[in-house]
């Protein structure tokens, strides 16, 4: 598999002393879907922001990021599309959806864009793109806004799509729909996906490979089967054990033994 992105010993510090990310090594192959899992403060978003070149200027960065086996860094928008947790924060509240997407297409692709607004909206699962294009963000539900944010990220036809807790604020049914959409889009376009979440089970539903982070470090990486059936690191094992399944004994039952 051709590496699309190769990260070597990447260290990031916001305050110059404590690293938010410590010597991270990660390779993402072309077309690969990587699930990046970590709890708050694990460094997963710092890693994603570093890849996308979105770190604040004051951050200290060392190590290397290689894009498509060259020493160039990926370009925002056209090489990498980024979807954030809060879609409302990525959309202009006083601009119609269609106008926002048209602007992104114009800036990113100029005249060579093969995509137009209705097609982009159809790709993210809107059966009636013209109606959505005429709406303002506040007229859409949370799930619809996140689909529009994904359409924005796709406008530049990126090789890598980063979804940073993109489904965390959504209901489970809407969340499952967005995960299916991301899965289908990456399969259709052959682009890679970096799916960032605190939810191990959710990541295991769509990733080819899982990467678990804690306290700024990558602890373990492997296929979902390897990570879930044979976790090597005790913390990864505890994450697997903390999954609240819909099968098997429940906490309520195992707690039934009388107190001492």
Partner 1 sequence: MTAPLLSVHDLAKSFGGTRAVDKVSFDLAAGETLALAGLSGSGKSTVARMVMRLIEPDAGRIDFMGEDLTRHSGSALRARRRHIQMVFQDTNSSFNPRATVASALLDPLNTFDILPKPQRAHEVRHLLERVGLSPGLFDRSIHELSGGQRQRVAIARALASRPALIVLDEALSAVDASIRIDLLELLLDLQREQGISYLFIAHDLGMIRAIAHRTAILDAGRIAEIGPTQSIIAAPQTQIGQQLVAAAPRLFHVADQP
Return residues touching partner 1 (CB under 8 A): 39-40, 142, 171-176, 179-180, 183-184, 187, 198-202, 204-206, 224-225, 228, 238-240, 242-246, 250-252, 255, 259
Q: How far is the CB of 108 from partner 1 (least distance, A)?
A: 28
Burial of 104: CB neighbours in 10 Å, binned 0-12, 13-18, 19+: buried
Nearer to partner 1 by Cβ, of 78 and 183: the residue is 183
Nearer to partner 1 by Cβ, of 122 and 240: the residue is 240
Q: How far is the CB of 129 from partner 1 (least distance, A)?
A: 18
Residue ranges of alpha helices (H) inside the chain are 44-52, 87-90, 97-109, 117-123, 129-133, 142-154, 172-189, 200-204, 224-229, 234-241, 251-254
Q: What is the phi/psi pair of residue 50, to 5°?
A: -65, -45
Nearer to partner 1 by Cβ, of 71 and 247: the residue is 247
Nearer to partner 1 by Cβ, of 88 and 240: the residue is 240
Q: How far is the CB of 70 from partner 1 (least distance, A)?
A: 32
Q: How far is the CB of 139 from partner 1 (least distance, A)?
A: 15
> Taking Cα atoms as reference points, which of 52, 59, 79, 51 lies closest to residue 13?
59
Q: How far is the CB of 1 from partner 1 (least distance, A)?
A: 19
Task: Name the strand (E) or helix (H) holding 222.
Answer: strand 217-222
Q: How far is the CB of 76 from partner 1 (least distance, A)?
A: 28
Q: How far is the CB of 39 from partner 1 (least distance, A)?
A: 4
Nearer to partner 1 by Cβ, of 131 and 187: the residue is 187
Nearer to partner 1 by Cβ, of 59 and 206: the residue is 206
Task: Specify whether the CB–CB gap between 194 and 224 falls below 8 A.
Answer: no
Q: How far is the CB of 236 from partner 1 (least distance, A)?
A: 11
**Distance, CA of 232 to CA of 236 (rounded, Å):** 7
Q: What is the phi/psi pair of residue 43, to 5°?
A: 100, 5
Nearer to partner 1 by Cβ, of 9 and 180: the residue is 180
Query: Which contacts qualify for 181-185: CB closer than 8 Å, 24 or more apart?
Result: 181/124, 181/125, 181/147, 181/150, 182/150, 182/206, 183/33, 185/123, 185/124, 185/150, 185/154, 185/161
**What 3-state DSSP class applies to 61?**
strand
Task: Name the strand (E) or helix (H) holding 60.
Answer: strand 60-67
Nearer to partner 1 by Cβ, of 39 and 119: the residue is 39
């Amino acid at each position: 598999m051709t590496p699309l992105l190769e990260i070597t010993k990447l260290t990031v510090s916001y305050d110059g002393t404590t690293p938010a990310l410590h010597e991270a090594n990660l390779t993402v192959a072309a077309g690969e879907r990587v699930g990046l899992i970590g709890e708050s403060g694990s460094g997963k978003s710092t890693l994603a922001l570093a890849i996308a070149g979105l770190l604040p200027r004051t951050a200290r960065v060392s190590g290397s990021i290689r894009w498509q086996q060259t020493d160039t860094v990926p370009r925002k928008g056209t090489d990498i599309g980024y979807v954030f947790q809060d879609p409302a924060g990525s959309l202009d509240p006083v601009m119609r959806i269609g106008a926002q997407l048209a602007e992104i297409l114009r800036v990113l692709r100029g005249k060579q864009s093969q995509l137009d607004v209705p097609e982009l909206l159809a790709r993210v699962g809107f059966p009636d793109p013209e109606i959505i294009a005429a709406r303002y963000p506040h007229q859409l539900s949370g799930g619809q806004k996140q689909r529009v944010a994904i359409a924005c990220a796709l406008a530049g036809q990126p090789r890598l799509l980063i979804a940073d807790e993109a489904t965390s604020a959504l209901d489970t049914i809407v969340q499952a729909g967005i995960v299916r959409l991301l899965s289908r889009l990456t399969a259709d376009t052959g682009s890679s996906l970096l799916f960032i979440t605190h939810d191990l089970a959710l990541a295991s539903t769509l990733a080819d490979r899982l990467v678990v982070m804690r306290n700024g470090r990558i602890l373990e990486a492997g296929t979902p089967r390897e990570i879930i059936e044979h976790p090597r690191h005790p913390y990864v094992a505890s994450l697997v054990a903390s999954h609240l399944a819909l099968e098997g004994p429940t906490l309520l039952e195992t707690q039934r033994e009388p107190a001492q």
